[in-house]
Amino acid sequence: MPADSEKSFDNFDFLDFAQEFLRRNTDYQAQFVSLCKGPVPDIESPDFRKMARSWGLEFRLSAGIQFLRKPSNLAPL
């Protein structure tokens, strides 16, 4: 990688890398999209929660409210 690319990751922590891994992971993307059956995903549904936990995620209610207001950081690219 060019030196410029490396500098863009200097401030990343493990959570940032984990988020980017999920956003770029085709299996995660497919599961996420398959559960989005409308304009706003129901992140409190049992199926969505099961999928999230399988990836080590936990969506809190307060995070869910924020999720509904703007695009999620964990939505596929």
Quickly state the pLDDT bin for 69 (edges 50, 70, 90).
Answer: very low
pLDDT the model gives residue 54: 93
Cα 12 to Cα 38: distance, rounded to the nearest angstrom: 33
Task: Give residue 56's region: left, alpha or beta (phi > 0; psi -120 to 50).
Answer: left
The domains of the chain are located at 14-69
pLDDT the model gives residue 57: 85
Cα 51 to Cα 46: distance, rounded to the nearest angstrom: 9
Contact predicate 49/57, CB 8 Å: no
| 64 vs 6: which has the higher pLDDT | 6
pLDDT (tens digit, 9 = 90+) per residue, 5-59? 556 777 888 888 888 899 899 999 999 888 887 777 787 889 988 998 999 887 6
